[in-house]
Amino acid sequence: MSTIRFDGRVAIVTGAGGGLGREYALELARRGARVVVNDLGAARDGTGHSDAALAVVEAIRSAGGEAMADGGNVADYDQMTEMVARAREAWGGVHILINNAGVLRDKTFAKMEAADFEFVVRVHLLGSAFATKACWETFREQNYGRVLMTASSTGLFGNFGQANYGAAKMGLAGLTKTLSLEGARNDIRVNTIAPTAGTRMTQDLFPQAAFEAFSPEKVAPGALYLVSDDAPTNVILGAGAGVFQTSYVTLTPGALLEGDDLSPEGVAAHLSAITDRTGEIVPQSGAEQAMTIGRLLQG
């Protein structure tokens, strides 16, 4: 089993002041990467500031690595372009981006303010898009880039009281799928990780024993593999407590409805055939839905 290294690579990790992002940044640096440690330093709900990024940078430098702190807000595109420009000026390029920054403002949808829905979507979904867009032309120029989006089981499967978070996280899985197609010709590989970890985001959700079992260092191996030279692309990797899983968006063969069956009543009558998973596929692009329909029409 060959050792995965990042010598000569420049990596940006957003939300790297603590938790998962901190662990990603430290491990990338241990394996030879120069690391931009981005963190606004806000609390879990996105308010306030701190010097968390500076502490991670100091830890990397004390261990003999190279790092710089960045306090840019991922939800501000101009600040993301400035962050990338600083990295390029200092180290000549950017090769890896891990979009990890996030916030929580949990409430049931009935009680949630529209502003809280918008804010969470802006940080997670738009923030990841902005950071990626800021790196994208550099990746294309280099004919090399590795991007990791952070989704969640909430986005993939739902979770009570997290409509804003779930919408953003599922959006990131969709963003990954399109960018993995658009980036392929320039060796830009884009993946999604759905971590379960004991961090400040989840510290009041886990019992203490579970909090310790789900430590961030047990997620980091999956994240680092997905931004390595030999990474796959368009993978959704679940990770927690040393367990790694994959999730898929699938498509059933479906059923062709004609005549009187081409009606709401017909859909209801044939729902078991429509939802039958026998022979389902994992489409590699949206075009495959039309292709499966075409095959049914051809008989």
Answer yes or no: is pLDDT of 260 > 80.
yes
Q: What is the pLDDT of residue 51?
A: 86
Could you tell me what percent of the chain has a pLDDT over 70?
92
Does residue 92 surpass a pLDDT of 60?
A: yes
- Give me the torsion for CA of 184, 188, 194, 196, rounded to 10°: 150
> What percent of the chain is modeled with pLDDT above 90?
90
Q: What is the distance in angstroms between the CA of the first residue and the CA of the last residue of the chain? A: 48
Mean of the pLDDT values across residues 228-253? 97
Mean pLDDT, the chain, integer: 94
Task: Indicate whether 276 pLDDT > 60.
Answer: yes
| Active-site residue set | 165
pLDDT at position 299 is: 76
Residue 197: predicted pLDDT: 82
CB-based contact 105:121 (threshold 8 Å)? no
Contact between 221 and 193 under an 8 Å Cβ cutoff? The reply is: no
pTM of the entire structure?
Answer: 0.94
Determine the average pLDDT of the residues in 174-181: 98
**The pLDDT of residue 71 is above 90:** yes
Sheet holding 10-13, edge to edge: 67-70, 34-38, 10-13, 96-98, 145-150, 188-195, 236-240, 243-247
Give, in order, the Cα–Cα distances in Å from 119 to each of 43, 112, 125, 158, 162: 14, 11, 10, 19, 13
Per-residue pLDDT band for 214 (boundaries 50, 70, 90) equals confident
Q: Is a pLDDT exceeding 80 seen at residue 31?
A: yes
CA 237 to chain centre: 10
Q: Domains of the chain (ranges plus CATH)? A: 10-247 (3.40.50.720), 259-297 (no CATH)
